[in-house]
Structure 1
Amino acid sequence: MDPLQLADASRLRTRATVLHADADSFFAAVEQRDKPSLRGRPVLVGGTGPRGVVSTASYEARRSGARSAMSMSRARRLSPAAAVLFPRFEAYSAYSRIIMATLGTLSELVEPLSIDEAFVDLEAGLFADDPAGAAADVRARIRERTGLAVSIGIGRTKLIAKLASEAGKPDGLLVVEPADEDDFLLPLPVRAVPGIGPATAAALERLDVRTVADLRRQELDVLTMTVGESSGVNLFRLARGIDLRPVAPGGERKSVGAERTFAEDIFGADLIAAAIDRVADEALRRLTAHGGGARTVVAKVRFADFTTLTRSVTLPQPSAEPAELRAAAHQAARAAGISDSVRLLGVSFHNLSAHAQLTLPWGDEEPPPVVDDEPLEAPTSLGPLTEENSRPGLDVEHPVLGRGWVVHVRGRQATVRFESVDTPPARSQVVDLDTDPLLLVPPLTPVWVP
């Protein structure tokens, strides 16, 4: 091994004290938890329009071949009995807060990776001598407080911990001791290594690299010539279990954004400009929630033939001014050379900063025109349920029948299951919205109790 690699290896921990926790099938599991009639049934959460994409598939749906990032239409063909639900991010965030707070009882060093997974450094807490016991206890407390299953992996590096939690799914706990790392790591497919996507895997395939053991046999110079200097060195180290990244709870978010796949391809300058405004405004709402501003604006355009281009515009200084960021989004989209039908548009903000230039608006701005038939997120304005604002899975309330959730709405006829997390499963009922109006209401969310 290269002397540099030996030096890196010498800095590794001597015991497995990095924990990775990952909630199993998180969005779908929350829906099954909140909707008793869906427990044990296949569930697909994601876009419900003709071009929707699966965010999460329950394990029951996965047994039929459905999975996340698959088109919803294909997932429905594979799992025709599945309930298809629109995401309820308010509910998922509430469950996430409890999971993260419970993990925080193990150590002050908790690094959330997403809404449903995090690293924990047990060396910084009281449980470094008994990581398996700590993991078993925290899994039990999360289940008690949320009803959700969390898989946990433990190793001496982030790499091993994350791979171990994946290997332990569903609802498992796996500790990989340093002495057992090679037996665990080497047989894994190379795609299991974080950061190896389809393009890198295809390049490695040309070297007959299919497993981590195959990857470890490659010389450093071969890897750097194949995938580039930085990626080659990184893969060389990871194949040897060398991962020196610390658990960093203060890590800054690198970007925020939004994208939209249209029910039908859009064409024409006016429609495309209106669509850019709508997606940019959703990205701006997320930037506002994050706080601060951004210096780089990226537009993503996918054409009808599935060709995808991204272009960026970098401002002289970070900005939180909506008009300036929206204009940069249009500029970046124009740089992509839109001259054909567009299937998807995305806008994201990068180089985020807590300090940004912000000017007050001179007057009220008109809302952006609607150019598609499904909002980017669930309706935020609560009120009477209608066909226009309904989405399958959203929460509703009736003055007599109580709380329930939308199955579907056709005209003024709403099909609803009146049930909640603490009730028995309910059958679907049809409600006439003219004579029996329903209200869209926020989800019933669990509360963190220390």
Structure 2
Amino acid sequence: MDSALSSDAARLRGVPSVIHADADSFFAAVEQRDKPSLRGKPVLVGGNGPRGVVATASYEARRTGAHSAMPMSRARRLSPAAAVLFPRFEAYSAYSRVIMSELARLSPLVEPLSIDEAFVDLAAGPWESRVAEAAQAVRARIRERTGLAVSIGAGRTKLVAKIASDVAKPDGLLVVDPSDEDAFLLPLSVRAIPGVGPATAAALERLDVRLVTDLRHQRLDVLTETVGEAHGSSLYRLAHGIDLRPVAPSGERKSVGAERTYPTDIFGGETIARAVDAVTDEALRRLATHGGGARTVVAKVRFADFTTVTRSATLSQPSADPATLRAAAHEAVRGVGARDAVRLLGVSFHNLSPHAQLTLGWEEDADTADLDRAVLDAREPEAGPVVGSSRRTIRGPLTAANARPGLDIEHPEHGRGWVVHVRGDEATVRFETHETPPARSRVIDLTTHPVTVVPPLAVVRFADTVDGPDPSS
């Protein structure tokens, strides 16, 4: 280890007081919690139109090969028995409030990464010397209040804590003591390191780097020549377990991005377009790790003569939709006029926001697919995400026009339930909640037995009970 790394290593903590908490299969788990007939069965949450994607797959669906970010059409072929549900962000936000409030009881330093995961710095609270006890207590308290499983990893760095929580899934706890870090990290695939996606992994494999131990044995100059200055330097440090990033509740990070220097200049519109896609994909992975969305996309192009030009594209509102951000990246690169002899390409996301627009493409008609959106507020869930056309919450009488599988409904005689599907004037529903036994499907004639779309029960249940007793009591 060189002197700079040795100096930074000396600044690392002596105890594994950084934890990463991540709710297991969050959206699908909430649906299974609220809909007893779906417990233990495959569930896919997301859009069902031609451009629909899976937001979350339950573990039962994952066993068939379905996973998040997969086209819904393919996921349904892999898991034909799965229930496909429209996302209910109001419900997810309500559950998220409870999870985040319980984590905040451990320490004032909580850094939400998304609606269902966060880092916590136990060194800022009373639990620094009782890491496992704190993690067990908060997991138990979250399960008691929400019925949901949260996996937790703990280490002396964000890197180790995040990887440990991934390894602990589902419904597990893993504390990695500093003395055990090398034994934990070195046998892992390089894909376990945040920021190493398919493109980076392929580049590293050309160096015969497949495991973290292989990465650790690479020289810094080789890594920077292979994957770029910034990314190579980061991988070099992470492979040695050096991660000094603090837990930052304010989310003061201003931008995320990626860039790549090519061993030989690249030419031609199609080649450059493919290169933009690859760099943007890497930047998108980093944005996903950061959480939230971005409003401005900046392209950086360095030509063969070392002239560097940047251009930006600004969206009307922050977005986390990969297609939207990728299109903006291409627009910014076209603004540079990059056609010949490109030496370096970079894409970065600025004006970051916890408010991220997630386009799910529910509608069968591609021309109206963008009507179904949800505002996902990862860091301020009390803002009240909404679901529905034109970003208005769906309320009022259930009709074929506003029906979405999974929506909460209420009948004056049968009580609360949820929509299975609607065809014409007939609605198939199940009258059940998390407090009832599983119910059979029932067909309701909406002309003679009106059904009302209502807020998720969790919104009501958790409205005044976010704060509970300290888990140590």
TM-score, normalising length: structure 1 = 0.77
**2-structure distance, mates of 1:155, 1:332:** 36
Aligned-pair distance for 1:375?
A: 1.4
Aligned-pair distance for 1:78?
A: 1.1
Q: Which residue of 2 aligns with 1:12?
A: 12
User: Which of the residues 354, 372, 375 maps onto 1:375?
Assistant: 372
**1-structure distance, mates of 2:327, 2:171:** 45
SS in 2 for 1:376: strand
1:431 and 2:427 equivalent? no
Give 4+ residue runs of structure 1 displaced > 6 Å after superposition: 329-337
SS in 1 for 2:237: helix
Q: Which amino acid aligns with 2:171?
A: D
- Give the conservation status (yes or no) of the 8 Å contact 2:409–2:419: yes
**2-structure distance, mates of 1:51, 1:314:** 24
Q: Which amino acid aligns with 1:449?
A: D
Structure 1 unaligned regions, length at least 5:
257-293, 300-310, 321-328, 338-347, 355-369
Q: Which moved more, 1:432-441 or 1:18-27?
A: 432-441
1:296 and 2:292 equivalent? no
1:92 and 2:92 equivalent? yes
Distance change (3 Å), C-alpha of 1:372 and 1:253: farther
Q: Which amino acid aligns with 1:408?
A: H
Distance change (3 Å), C-alpha of 1:413 and 1:172: same
Aligned length: 370
Q: Which residue of 2 aligns with 1:145?
A: 145
Aligned-pair distance for 1:381?
A: 3.8
Q: Which moved more, 1:244-253 or 1:90-99?
A: 244-253
Distance change (3 Å), C-alpha of 1:333 and 1:165: closer
Report matched runs for 1:308-347 at 5 Å.
312-313=312-313
Q: Which residue of 2 aligns with 1:25?
A: 25
Aligned-pair distance for 1:210?
A: 0.7
* Deviations, residues 99-122 of structure 1 (Å, cap 9, x unaligned): 000011111111111100011111
Q: Which amino acid aligns with 2:416?
A: R
Root-mean-square deviation (Å):
3.0
* Deviations, residues 12-45 of structure 1 (Å, cap 9, x unaligned): 1111111110000000000000001111111110
Q: Which residue of 2 aligns with 1:52?
A: 52
**2-structure distance, mates of 1:255, 1:4:** 25
* Deviations, residues 52-72 of structure 1 (Å, cap 9, x unaligned): 111111111111111111111
User: Which of the residues 439, 444, 450 maps onto 2:457?
Assistant: 444
**1-structure distance, mates of 2:233, 2:97:** 36
Distance change (3 Å), C-alpha of 1:130 and 1:352: closer
- Give the conservation status (yes or no) of the 8 Å contact 2:411–2:450: yes
Structure 2 unaligned regions, length at least 5:
257-293, 300-310, 318-325, 335-347, 355-365, 375-386, 469-473
* Deviations, residues 67-112 of structure 1 (Å, cap 9, x unaligned): 1111111111111111110100010001001000001111111111
Q: Which residue of 1 aligns with 2:189?
A: 189
Distance change (3 Å), C-alpha of 1:52 and 1:166: same
SS in 1 for 2:395: coil
Q: Which amino acid aligns with 1:216?
A: R
Aligned-pair distance for 1:229?
A: 1.1
Distance change (3 Å), C-alpha of 1:298 and 1:52: farther
Aligned-pair distance for 1:333?
A: 8.2
Q: Which amino acid aligns with 2:367?
A: V
Q: Which amino acid aligns with 2:417?
A: G
Q: Which amino acid aligns with 1:296?
A: T
Q: Which moved more, 1:232-241 or 1:244-253?
A: 244-253
- Give the conservation status (yes or no) of the 8 Å contact 2:419–2:427: yes
Q: Which amino acid aligns with 1:422?
A: E
Q: Which residue of 1 aligns with 2:201?
A: 201
Q: Which residue of 1 aligns with 2:234?
A: 234
Report matched runs for 1:44-443 at 5 Å.
44-252=44-252, 296=296, 312-313=312-313, 350-351=350-351, 371-373=367-369, 375-377=372-374, 378-379=387-388, 380-443=393-456
1:37 and 2:37 equivalent? yes
Q: Which amino acid aligns with 1:198?
A: P
Distance change (3 Å), C-alpha of 1:101 and 1:295: closer
Aligned-pair distance for 1:449?
A: 3.4
Q: Which residue of 2 aligns with 1:275?
A: none
TM-score, normalising length: structure 2 = 0.73
**1-structure distance, mates of 2:248, 2:333:** 36
Aligned-pair distance for 1:298?
A: 7.5
Q: Which residue of 2 aligns with 1:363?
A: none
Aligned-pair distance for 1:312?
A: 3.4
Question: Relative contact order (C-alpha < 8 Å, sep 6+): which is higher?
Answer: 2
SS in 2 for 1:371: helix
SS in 2 for 1:372: helix
Distance change (3 Å), C-alpha of 1:415 and 1:336: farther
Q: Which amino acid aligns with 2:237?
A: R
**2-structure distance, mates of 1:399, 1:193:** 53
Q: Which amino acid aligns with 1:229?
A: E
**2-structure distance, mates of 1:147, 1:106:** 20
Distance change (3 Å), C-alpha of 1:330 and 1:247: closer
Distance change (3 Å), C-alpha of 1:101 and 1:331: closer
* Deviations, residues 207-245 of structure 1 (Å, cap 9, x unaligned): 111110111110111001111111111101100111000
**2-structure distance, mates of 1:115, 1:233:** 30
**1-structure distance, mates of 2:88, 2:255:** 22
**2-structure distance, mates of 1:254, 1:392:** 38
Q: Which amino acid aligns with 1:53?
A: V
* Deviations, residues 155-187 of structure 1 (Å, cap 9, x unaligned): 010000111011010000001001100110001
**2-structure distance, mates of 1:81, 1:202:** 35
- Give the conservation status (yes or no) of the 8 Å contact 2:297–2:328: no
Q: Which amino acid aligns with 1:376?
A: R
Identity among equivalent pairs (%): 72
